[in-house]
Amino acid sequence: MENILEKSDPELVELSLKNKEFYGFLIQKYQDKLKRYILRISGGVYNDADDILQDVFIKVYKNLNDYDPELKFSSWIYRITHNETISFLRKVNRKPTTYNFEIDAVKVKTIEEDLTLDQKLDNLKVKENLLRIISNLDKKYQDVVLLRYTEDKDYQEISDILKKPQGTVATLLRQAKGQLKEEITKNRHLFP
């Protein structure tokens, strides 16, 4: 028998609908990614991340019949995760102060190329300053920057997750990149 984890998401969904024991493989495939995403968009609510994640997987399971295999499963499950996290934060009357995420050299390079910066962003202090600037963006820009640069989602996936038209996502990302570039230029001394 082929490795079950090598099956595509739609195949795992189909198997899960036939036999609920297969749902554990979807959980296994997504739990680490989704927990990191919850921590990133909640500002690091570590104590509650497992509860939110559990609620996500319960909601996904209950709505598995509604999943449209024409769409990417990852976009669908990320949208549910996003909504559950935001709902949780509203319930406890808490807003994330900053996103809690790491940024590696590859992601810095991607941002650098997307912003067509004159200078190179390559040391640890520069990464910290870039994270600070990103976390100070408007919330609507943080969402698209987070999904694009830390979750490696394309415009269509971001559109599906945030339930915004793809054109709006492109506009938000373009505006976010403009703000990022402006802040980096204004704070050039932080980016040697």
Please give the model's pTM, rounded to 2 decimal places. Answer: 0.70
Could you tell me the domains of the chain? 7-91 (1.10.1740.10), 105-190 (1.10.10.10)
CA dihedral of 12, 16, 22, 25, whole degrees rounded to 10:
50
Mean pLDDT of each 10-residue bin along the chain, 192 residues long: 76 92 92 90 78 95 91 93 90 59 58 58 63 80 86 91 93 90 78 63
User: Quick one: tokens of 78?
Assistant: 């990320």
Q: What is the DSSP string of 113-153?
A: HHHT-SS---SHHHHHHHHHHHHTS-HHHHHHHIIIIIS--
180: CB partners within 8 A, 6+ apart: 111, 115, 133, 134, 137, 145
What pLDDT score was predicted for residue 191?
A: 65
Q: How far apart are CA 172 and CA 183, in angstroms?
A: 16
What pLDDT score was predicted for residue 18?
A: 93
